[in-house]
A and B are shown apart, each in its own frame.
Chain A
Amino acid sequence: MEEKKKTNPKANIRLMFSFLDGAGHFFVLCILSSLLASLCELVCPKIISFTVDSVLGGMETNLPPFVERLVSAAGGTASIRAHLWIVAAAVLVLALFMGIFKYGESVFNRKGSETLVETVRNRLFSHLERLPAAWYTKHQTGDIIQRCTSDVETVKTFLSEQLTSILSTVLLIVLSLFFMYTVSIPLATVALVSIPVIVAYSAVFHGKIGERFLYCDETEGKLSAIAQENLTGVRVVRAFGREIYEVDKFTKQNDLFADAWIKLGRLMSMFWCMGDMISGLQQMIVMVYGTVLAVRGTLSVGALIAAVSYNAMLIWPVRELGRTVSEMSKAGISIGRIGDIMQAEEERDAPDAVDCDPAGGIEFRDVTFSYDGQTDVLKHVSFRVNKGETLGIIGMTGSGKSTLAQLLCRLWELPEEGGTITVGGVDIRKIKLASLRRSVGIVLQEPFLFSRDLEDNIGIGFERPAAHEPEIMEAARAASLDETVEGFADGWHTMVGERGVTLSGGQTQRVAIARLLTANPAVMIFDDSLSAVDSETDAKIRRALYEKTEDATVILISHRIQTLMAADHILVLADGEIVEEGDHAALLARNGIYRRIYDIQTGVDVDGEGGEA
C-alpha cells in the first residue's frame, strides 16, 4: 500500500500531541482529583483503626505529630471516647471530600476527552472542506467517515481512558501499598508480591481472548448479512420459492453464532471466577497472616482491620490494570489513519493571488487535460466568451463537457503544461479561489442537496437564508419550483436530502438552478441541468433564465439542441475536441453533425420503424 509508506511516525506523534491542545490540563486535573479521592479513601481505614484501637481499645496512639495535635485539641482519646460523634463527623467530612474529588475525576476526564474529540473533529471537518475535489475521487466516503468517527474514538479512548486510568491506577496501588506499609510491613509485603501475579494473569487472559472476540464478531456479522440479504432480496426468495433454503441457511449461522458466544462466555466466566478465587485466597492469606501476627502481639486489631481494607481496595484496580494493559489498543494505527487525512494538502491560493474580475470575459487557450495522466479528456480546446454572452456546448456523454466546466471553477486544477484559462484576462491559477467561485457559479450535473429545508438549500450562500426570502422566492419561481413546493405539506420548510423527502431528478435539478440564481454570480454554468425535466418545464425555465441572466455570462451544456439554439455561440464537442462551432444558423448551414442532430431532435422520424436505435 502506497498510503502506508507515506505515514510518518514522528508526524503522527506530533499530531497526537497537537490533539491535546486545550485538553491536556483537564487530564492532569483528572489524575490529581483521582489521587486526592484515593487519599481520602485511604485515610478512612486509619480513622477506623484509630477508633477501634485507641479510642475503644485504649491502646497507645501511634500517630503522626500533626494528627496527635489534632487529637489533643479534641480533648485526647478519652474525650473522643465520650464523644464518638467526632470520629463520625471526621469520616463524614472525609467522605464529602472524597465525593467531591470523585466527581471532579469523572467530570475532568470527560471535559478533557470531549475537548480533545471536539478539536480533532472540527479540524478534520474544516480540513476536509478544503481538500481538492481530486482527493475525494481517490478515497471512499465510508472509509473517510470511519476515520473521522471510530478512529477518533479509538484515540480518545487511548488518551482519556487507558492512559489516564493506568496512571491513576498505578498511583492508587502505590498509595495503598504505602498506607499498608504504615500499618504493617509484613502484610504489605504479601500484597506487593501478589500484584504481579494478578496483573499477569489478567493481561495474558485478555490478550488471548481478543482473537475469540473477533471470531464472535465475525459470526455475528455473517448472520446479520444473511438476514440483510434475505430482506433486500425478498422478491427473489419468494419468486423462486426458496424459503426453506433461506431458513436453513439462517438457522445454521444462527447456531454457529450462539455457540461461539456461549463458548466465549464460558471461557470468560471461567476466567472471572478463577480471578475471584485467586483474589479470595490472597485476601484470606492477608487476613490469616494478620490474625497470626495479632495473636503474637505484633499487630493491633485496628491495624489488622485497616490492612484488610487496604488490601481489598488494592485488589480491584490491580485486576483492572491487567485488562487495560492488554487492551492498549490500536491507537497507533488510528492516529496514522487520521494523519493520512490531515497530511493531505489543502487547496491554496497562490501568494500573489488577486480578486476575480469577470467583466473581461473568459478565455480557454489550448487547454488539454487528463484525469489519469494517460487519456486526454480535453484536447487543445480554445474559445472565448465575452461578458454577457451565452455559450452553448453540445456533445455526447464523455465528450469532456463537464470537465471543461469544472476546470473553469477550479474543481480540478489545470496543470502548467495544459494551457491556460483566463477570467478577465487573468490566469485563474492566479485568482483567489473563493473570489473565483463567487464569480463563476455552476449547477453540477448531479446536484447535491443538503439535509435541511428547501429554503435553506436554495439560500445556502447566505448567512441567514430566512432574511433573503424575496430573492429566494424569485429564483425559485424562475426555476419553476413554486408549483412543486406548493404540493408539499411543509412548503418551503420541507426537509430534503438524506433525512427528508426524496426529490426526483428533475426537482433536484431545479432546486440547484434556483440556488445558483439566488447566488447570482457574474458567470453561470449549467451543466446538463435540465436533463431530467420534461420539455414543457424545460422551455418555461429557459425563458425565465434568459430574463434573469441578461447581464450574466452564461455557459449552457446540454445534449438537446432546443436548450442551446438561442446561444450566441455554440461549440460541438466530440472526444474532447471542438469539431464545429458557430451560432445556430451558421452550424445548421454547415450541414455537419450539428445539422444531423437537429434533424433527429426536431422529430422528422420518430415512429421507430426506420430508426435503428
Chain B
Amino acid sequence: MDGENEKITHLRFFGIPKILPHLKPYLGAMLFMMLFAAGGSLIDIVFPKFQEYAINHYIADETLDTLVPFVILYVALLALQVAMNFTASYLGIRTEMIVGRDLKKKAFDHLQTLSFSYFNRNSVGYVHARVMSDTGRIGSLVSWYLLDCIWNGAYMIGAVVVMFRTNWRLTLLVLAVIPVVTAVVGFMQKKLTDANRRIRELNSRITGSFNEGITGARTVKTLVAEERMEKEFRSESGEMKRVSVMESRFRGALWTSLTVASYIALALVLKLGGDLTREQVMTVGTLSLFMSYSMGIMHPIRWIVNSISQLIMVQVNIERLTGLLETESDVSDSPEVVEKYGDMFHPKRENWEELRGDIEFDDVTFHYPDGEETILEHFNLKVPHGTNVAIVGETGAGKSTLVNLVCRFFEPTEGRILIDGRDARERSQLWLHANIGYVLQTPHLFSGTIRDNLRYGAPDASDKEIMEALRTVSADGIVERSEKGLDTEVGEGGDLLSTGEKQLLSFARAILCDPKILVLDEATSSVDTFTERLIQQAIGKVIEGRTSFMIAHRLSTVRNADVILVVKGGRIVESGTHRELLALRGYYHSLWSRQYEAEATEAAFKQFGKTEA
C-alpha cells in the first residue's frame, strides 16, 4: 500500500499507552460514541420480545386488546434506536476524521522543525506515509473498529443476559459453541490477513512487471526476450490467481463455520427447548425468542475478531507515527536564542540584526549524523562578503556538504561556523534562513500561480517588484507569453512549465527576497542553448554583491569564481582559482579536459553545420 514491506510489530498493550496521550482531547466524544452504540445495540435485544409477546399474548389469548400501545412502543423504540445509532456513527466519523486531522497536523508541524539528517535517513515516500496513512489508520481504529466491537459486543452480552434469565441451562449449552467458533474464526482471520498481505505484495509486483515490460519494451525487443518475459509474467500472474483463490477459500470457510455454528445453536434450542415446550415448561413464544438470540450471537464474533486483528495490525502504524513525533531535531536553537530571536512559529523579527555575509569555517570537523566517514577535518576557510565560491566535482561526490553547513541544515561535529564574526548558533535558524536565497538544481516550485511562487520568500512583494526581478533574470518573457500573466498556474511541482522556465523562475524567487547569501545548485539537466545562455547571464547578475556558493556541474560556468573547491569522494581535494587549479595538472585538470572536449566537439559540429548551410 505504501510500497513498503508490511510487518507486524508487537508493542506493550498493543501500543495503546503510546497513542493514548494523543487521544486525550477526544476521550469524551469517544465515550459518548460508545454509550450510544451500546444503547442502540441493546435495543436490538428487545425487538424479539415484541414477537414473543405477540405470540404469547395476542395469539395465545386470541385478543388484540393492547395493539395500539404495542405499535406505539415499537415505533418509539425503533426511533430511539435509530437516533442512538445515528449519533454513534456520526460521532464515529467525527472522531475518525478529527483524530486523523489533528495527528496529521501534529506530524506535519513536527516535520517542519526536524533537521535534514531526518530527511536524508528517510525517503519522501516513507515520511509521506507517516503523515497521510498512519494517522488515518489510527483514526479508523479508535472509531469504526471500536464501534464494531461495542455494537457487536453489547448485543452479545445483552442477548446472553436475557437468555440466562429465561433459562440458564439452555443458555449454557448454547454458549458452549462460542469458544469453538471464536477459535475457528480467529484461525481463519489470521490466514486471511496473511493471504491479503501476500496479495498486496503480488499486486505491486505485477504492477512493477507491467512497468518494466513497458519501459523496457525496446530492450526486450532487441534481445528477443519477449517469450521469456512473458513466461515469467505468466508465473507471477498465476501465483496471484492461486493466492487469491486461496484467500476466498479461507473467507468462504470463515462464513461457513459461522453459519454452521448458528445452526448448531438453533438445533440445540430446537431439540432441548422443544423438549421443554412439549413438557409445558417453556412457551412457544419463548422458544422462538431463544431461537433468534442463539442464532444472532454467532455473527458478531466475526466483527469482534476482525476489530482485534485490526488492532494488531495498527500497532506498526502507532509505532512509526510516535517514532516520528518523538524524533528530536539535531539542529535546534538554544533557549537563550529562542528567548531573544523567537522560535520557528513565533519569530521576534524586531530583535533580528542585519546580516552582512562574512562567513568563516573555523576549524570545522564534520561527519553526517548517520555516516561514519569524516568529511571535513579541521577545515578552515574565510569567505568575506561578496565572495563567489564554486564547488565542483562529479555527481555524488558530496558537493552539498559545505552548503548544508552554511545554511545550518547540519551543525559541525566540531569547530564553529562564524557568520559576521559570531558563532552561527548564537542566532536563530529562521534569522539565518530569512537571509539566504536558494536555487536548487532541480528547481522546485509549489502548485499555485507564478505570483504565489515568486512571493514564496518575500510574501509582501508587489507585482512591480516581481516583474523587476523577472526582468533581471530575463524571465519576463515567460509571464508575457502566458495569457494569465502572473496568475498562470504552474501545476504540481511546477510541471506545467519547462525545466528551463522553472529554473529561471526560481532565480527570480531567490533574488526577490534580496538575500545576503546566495546558494546556487546548478542544473545538470540539459536545457536548450538559448535558455542555457539566459541562465548563465542570470547567474552572473544575481551573484553580484552577494556572498555566494555555487555547486557547479558545468565547469565553464565557474571559471571566474573567486575560489573553486574541488570535491572527490566527499572530501575537498583541491582548491584555488581556475588558473591555479589547471596549473596543478591534478583532478580538476582532468575534469576540465573531459568536459572541454565534449563541449568543443559539439561546438565544432555546430559551427560546421552553419558553414555548410
Which A residues are within 8 Å of any B CB, using their own CB? 44, 48, 51-52, 55-57, 81, 84-85, 87-89, 91-92, 94-96, 98-100, 102-107, 109-111, 114-115, 117-118, 121-122, 124-126, 128-131, 133, 136, 141, 144-145, 148-149, 223-225, 227-247, 250-251, 254-255, 257-258, 261-262, 265-266, 268-270, 272-274, 276-277, 280-281, 284, 287-288, 291-292, 294-295, 301, 304-305, 308, 395-397, 399, 409, 411, 434, 437-438, 441-442, 444, 447-448, 450-451, 460-461, 463, 497-499, 504, 515, 519, 535, 559-560, 574-575, 579, 593, 596-597, 600-601, 603, 606-608, 611-613
Q: Are B127 and A231 in contact, CB atoms less than 8 angstroms apart?
A: yes
CB-CB under 8 A from A238, the residues of chain B are 116, 407, 409, 433
Cβ–Cβ contact B132 & A227, under 8 A: yes
- Determine if B174 is an interface residue (Cβ-Cβ < 8 Å): no
In chain A, what residue has the closest Cβ to B89?
A: A269
Q: Which of the segments B253-261, B466-474, B481-489 contacts the partner chain?
A: B253-261
Given A250-B105, A437-B221, A92-B267 contact (CB < 8 Å): yes
A272 to B459, CA, bound (A): 48
Residue of B nearest to A87 (CB): B270
Give the chain B neighbours of A232 by CB distance below 8 A.
124, 444, 493
Residue contact A593 to B247, C-beta cutoff 8 Å: no
Q: Which residues of A contact B54 (CB under 8 A)?
A: 287-288, 291
Q: A-side binding surface: helix, strand, loop or mixed?
A: helix
Partner of B274, one of A87, A593, A612: A87
Residue on A nearest B231 in the bound complex, by CB: A463
Q: Mind listing 7 A-B residue pairs with CB under 8 Å?
A: A48-B291, A51-B274, A229-B444, A280-B78, A305-B288, A559-B601, A574-B612
User: Nearest A residue to B203 by beta-carbon distance?
Assistant: A149
Bits for B50-70, please: 1 = Cβ < 8 Å to A, else 0: 110011001100111001001
The interface residues of chain A lying within 8 Å CB-to-CB of B211 are 141, 145, 498
Closest CB in chain A relative to B250 CB, distance in Å: 9
Structural contact, A84 and B248, CB atoms closer than 8 A: no
Chain B residues near A560 (CB, 8 Å)?
Answer: 597, 601
Which among B17-25, B106-114, B306-314, B382-390 touches the partner chain? Answer: B106-114
The answer to whether A145 touches B82, judged by C-beta atoms less than 8 angstroms apart, is no
The winner among A131, A228, A612 for most chain B CB atoms within 10 A is: A228
Ranked nearest first, the 9 interchain pairs of A and B with the lowest CB-CB distance are A265-B93, A95-B263, A110-B248, A106-B252, A241-B433, A239-B438, A396-B605, A99-B256, A88-B271
Most chain A CB neighbours (cut-off 10 Å) among B112, B247, B257, B440: B112
- Verify B214–A136 contact, CB threshold 8 A: yes
Contacting pair A129 B217 (CB below 8 A): yes
B161 to chain A, nearest CB (A): 23
Return chain A residues, CB-CB under 8 Å to B247: 110
Q: How far is the CA of A1 from the CA of B233 in the complex (A)?
A: 32
> Inside 8 A of A122's CB, which chain B residues have their CB?
230, 233-234, 237
- Whole-angstrom CA separation of A415 from B344 in the bound complex: 64
What residues on A are CB-neighbors of B98 within 8 Å?
258, 262
Which residues of chain A are within 8 angstroms of B50 by Cβ–Cβ distance? Answer: 284, 287
In Å, the complex CA distance between A596 and B90 comes to: 79
Find the B residue at minimum CB distance from A308: B51
The answer for the CA separation of A549 and B51 in the assembled complex, in Å, is 92
Q: How far is the CB of B86 from chain A (nearest CB, A)?
A: 4
A61, B13: Cα distance in complex, Å: 59
Given A231-B124, A239-B407, A559 contacting B112 (CB threshold 8 A) = no
Q: Are B230 and A257 in contact (CB under 8 A)?
A: no
> In the assembled complex, which residues on chain A have CB atoms less than 8 Å from the CB atom of B132?
223-224, 227
Q: Return the CB mask of B79-100 against A: 1 if under 8 Å, else 0.
A: 1011101100110111011101
Compute how far the CA of A572 lies from the CA of B219 in the bound complex, rounded to whole angstroms.
27
Nearest CB in chain A to that of B62: its residue: A295
Residue numbers of B with Cβ under 8 A of A are 50-51, 54-55, 58-59, 62-64, 67, 70-71, 74-75, 78-79, 81-83, 85-86, 89-90, 92-94, 96-98, 100-101, 104-105, 108-109, 111-113, 116, 119, 124, 127-128, 131-132, 206-226, 228-230, 233-234, 237-238, 240-241, 244-245, 247-249, 251-253, 255-257, 259-260, 262-264, 266-268, 270-271, 274-275, 277-278, 284, 287-288, 291, 344-345, 396, 407, 409, 429-430, 433-434, 436-438, 440, 444, 446-447, 456-457, 459, 492-493, 513, 519, 556, 559, 578, 582, 589, 592-594, 596-606, 608-609, 612
Cα–Cα, bound, A447→B223 (Å): 12
Q: How far is the CB of A222 from chain B (nearest CB, A)?
A: 9
Interface centre among B70, B238, B271 (most CB of A within 10 A): B271
B109 (CB) vs chain A CBs: closest residue: A247
CB distance from B26 to the nearest CB of A (A): 13
Say whether A451 contacts B212, CB under 8 Å. Answer: yes
* B125 CB, nearest partner CB in chain A, Å: 9
Task: Tell me the nearest residue of chain B to A283, going by C-beta.
Answer: B47
**B74, B229, B446, most chain A CB atoms within 10 A:** B446
Which among A114, A149, A461 is the interface contact of B245 at CB below 8 angstroms?
Answer: A114
- A399: chain B residues at CB < 8 Å are 605
Task: For residue B411, give the distance in angstroms from its CB to the closest CB of chain A.
Answer: 14
A176 to chain B, nearest CB (A): 17
The reply to whether B268 and A125 form a contact with Cβ atoms under 8 Å apart is no
A92 touches B78 (CB 8 A): no
B446 and A229 contact, CB distance less than 8 A: yes
A229 to B89 CA separation, bound complex (whole angstroms): 34
Closest Cβ neighbor of A505 among chain B residues: B395
Please measure, in the bound complex, the distance between the C-alpha atom of A250 and the C-alpha atom of B111, giving whole angstroms: 12
Inter-chain contact B222/A444, CB cutoff 8 Å: yes
Residue of A nearest to B243 (CB): A114
The closest CB in chain B to the CB of A399 belongs to: B605
Assuming the contacts A129-B226, A228-B128, A250-B108, asked whether A107 and B582 have C-beta atoms less than 8 A apart, the reply is no
- If A85-B271, A87-B274, A261-B97 touch, does A559 touch B612 (CB 8 Å cutoff)? no
